[in-house]
Amino acid sequence: MQAPRIALAMTLVLTIAGCGSGSTSSPAPRSGSSGPTEPCGSVTIAVNPWVGYEANAAVVAYLAEKRLGCKVTKKEVDEQTAWQGLDSGEIDVILENWGHEDLKQKYIDEKRTAVRIGPSGNKGVIGWYVPPWMKKTYPDITNWQNLNKYADMFKTAQSDGKGQVLDGDPSYVTNDEALVKNLGLNYKVVYAGSEQALIKAFRQAEEKKTPLIGYFFEPQWLHLDIELVKVDLPEYKAGCDADAAKVACDYPRYELDKIAAKKFMDKGGPAARLLQNFQWSNDEQDTVASFIAKYKMSPDEAAKRWVEANPDRVEDWLTKAKP
């Protein structure tokens, strides 16, 4: 099932990326898509540190500015800081929230300064992955019960004589240190420091056929290029991650959602309605993210390319954003 999806997505990426970049004009408004009939005002979008989120923000910001006449500010913050910004009024929306039930309880249920505004449309997966060459060479390596016999292969200068599990940005949602301890694995979690460092490590591991096991996730544009293989950790069951120190199960599957400041949504207006309407798939996000990360487009150019190639999707969001 994975290979046809990747082939189709890459065809779209290459087709759109190959389009001429000389034109800067926006497409003519479609029937029923006349300009905004009410002032849009301003909207501040949190941008968390991964390129998939940046793709969300790029498309929403482009439409808010070019089609609805909004003033858009994007603030680069980590996940915790973004939630604090909703509370303080410094941020209006989080476009891709990964769980955070504790923060929902604090800011939505208790303080009532934030509100849920629907799914982003993305399906989130977190886990441990290996490059495809390792699965082919060591077919049983994706069963966590076999990881200790391969630990020596994953040793690095940073892993203190143990196998290395490479994580990314320390601010990401992760249970990896607890998993290593509670599953009795002879490994140490080492932080690469960023999403870009993780991508580079997995690319090099596949190209040079060097051992690597690490934290990774979906949606993520690298899956369009390399079919990373997920390790089977103990099955997730509701509540198995309730105590962070005792986690011994895989990550849950996430229905990623959007969270906004209550005051902002209470005011209404075109931007608030666009934020509610915006939903897209993992493949759509990966395509825009690849424009930014792989093809080195600016977020605005990446959004423009995708918007022009997907007028029907865009008009659906915009039509509902207008009174």
Domains and CATH numbers, the chain: 2-20+40-123+255-321 (3.40.190.10), 125-246 (3.40.190.100)
| pLDDT at res. 38 | 79
| pLDDT at res. 37 | 66
DSSP annotation string for 188-203: EEEE--SHHHHHHHHH
Cα distance between residue 233 and residue 283, in whole Å: 25
Cα distance between residue 183 and residue 151, in whole Å: 14
Q: 45 with 74: CB under 8 angstroms?
A: yes
Tokens coding 128: 């441990």
pLDDT < 70 stretches in the chain: 1-37, 320-323
Identify the residue whose tokens are 């292969």: 153
Cα distance between residue 313 and residue 319, in whole Å: 10
Q: 240 with 248: CB under 8 angstroms?
A: yes
Cα distance between residue 179 and residue 249, in whole Å: 7
Tokens coding 222: 């690298």
| pLDDT at res. 179 | 98
Backbone φ/ψ region at 274: left (φ over 0), alpha (ψ -120 to 50), beta: alpha
Cα distance between residue 150 and residue 12, in whole Å: 38
Cα distance between residue 273 and residue 269, in whole Å: 6
Cα distance between residue 159 and residue 148, in whole Å: 14
Cα distance between residue 238 and residue 2, in whole Å: 27
Tokens coding 59: 């498309």
| pLDDT at res. 201 | 97
Helix segments in 241-297, DSSP class H? 262-267, 270-277, 282-293
